[in-house]
Amino acid sequence: MQTQDLQFQSERLRLARTAKGLTQASLADQLGVKRQFIHQFEHDERTPNDMTLNALADVLDVHPHFFMRQVKHVITHESVNFRKLKSVTKTFQSKIVARSTILSEVIRWLEKYVELRDIEIPQHYLDISGTSIEQVTQLVRDFYGVGLNSPIDNVTTLMESAGVICVQVGDTSEKISALSVDTHRPLVMHNVLNKQASRMRFDLCHELGHFVMHKGTPTGDDLTEQQANSFASAFLLPQKAFINECPLRDYRQIDWKALSEFKQRWNVSFQAIFRRAFDLGLIGAAQYKKGHILINTKGWAKKEPYEHEAEKPSVMNDAAKILNFDFSIYLDDIEKEFGITKEFVKLLGIEISENLEFQGNVVNFKKYAFQK
């Protein structure tokens, strides 16, 4: 795409900079200019010349024509469900909002060619309905047809089948294991640093809890985070089945062999099991504390044994393959369309594998001509 006769969009510079996690000062340092220059570019007080535009693009892992596209759908901070909001820096929040905005642009463009699953997320507002979280999770399990007596085979597949886009991202805060974005198509970003299958499943269910219970409600405070945690716990471990099967009881010694078998069957962490047992009154505070001390002593607080293989998202990968096979659209074409490089694509959590097997969460493709 030629940059001649196209107008520089200051908001695109702000998007690229914040998506890379850079301040105006740090970007200016890399370019060897004063911070005021960047400020002027971002506030339409000055327009970069071709040399400066190329330098900006090089530092930010985009192509010059990236800055010429209008920003049509801006995601706000209020649309993102950040965990532990008080401990998350403004720079990190802005980085995620910017990446979500660009990723959402890519998804909107993909939807011209591929038909994704309908969004099917039931809404249950606790303060309006008076329904308990236990009841909500039972209703949601019933809605998705997974019953109340057995584990959920694959949480990622369940969420993608419900129309959610799941991506795995790096370069994020270690304090944030996952976050979700309430946009035209719900997004969940999972931190690749958290590779344990059981905790990843819990994180995804936590974000599902926000979609179910907190749509349009500010999150990140202690109450909404506790509610989302309780949702994840009850959704993964339904009350009746848990009470019947869990080997933990207050009057018993901890049977780690039986507990390990239970963990593997339900694909949850030891920490989640102890918490659920405590919440349901199967164990008291002393047994709960003892369990956590043992988990920490064994080093399992960071890495537990008896883990399943981690789940992987498939929708973006499948969509890319459909574009490839049916429209001869390749990753290079997507990069050219949006003016982003392969490095920037990775920041968005888009990974295209060599595996040709389709998972089936992309429904179909639409026959639109692709204009190169």
Is this prediction's pTM over 0.85?
yes
H-helix or E-strand spanning residue 39: helix 35-42
CATH 1.10.260.40 residue ranges of the chain are 1-71
Higher pLDDT pick, 343 / 10? 10
* Pairing relationship of beta strands 187-191 and 165-169 according to DSSP bridges: parallel
Query: Following DSSP, what letter does each residue of 169-236 receive, concatenated?
Result: E-SS-TT-SEEEE-SSS-EEEEETT---HHHHHHHHHHHHHHHHH-TTS---SHHHHHHHHHHHHHHH
Under CATH, domain 1-71 is a member of which superfamily? Answer: lambda repressor-like DNA-binding domains (1.10.260.40)
* Residue 129: CB atoms within 10 Å: 13
- Kindly state the percentage of the chain with pLDDT values over 70: 90
Give 65's DSSP letter: G
* pLDDT, position 324: 86
Q: Tens of pLDDT along 319-364?
A: 888 888 888 888 888 889 999 998 898 888 887 655 545 566 665 5
Query: How big is the chain, counted in residues?
Result: 372
CA-nearest of 208, 63, 50 to 123 is: 208
Residue with tokens 């002393």: 286
d(CA 271, CA 259): 11
H-helix or E-strand spanning residue 322: helix 315-327
Q: Tens of pLDDT along 194-251?
A: 778 999 999 999 999 999 999 988 898 999 999 999 999 999 999 999 999 999 998 8
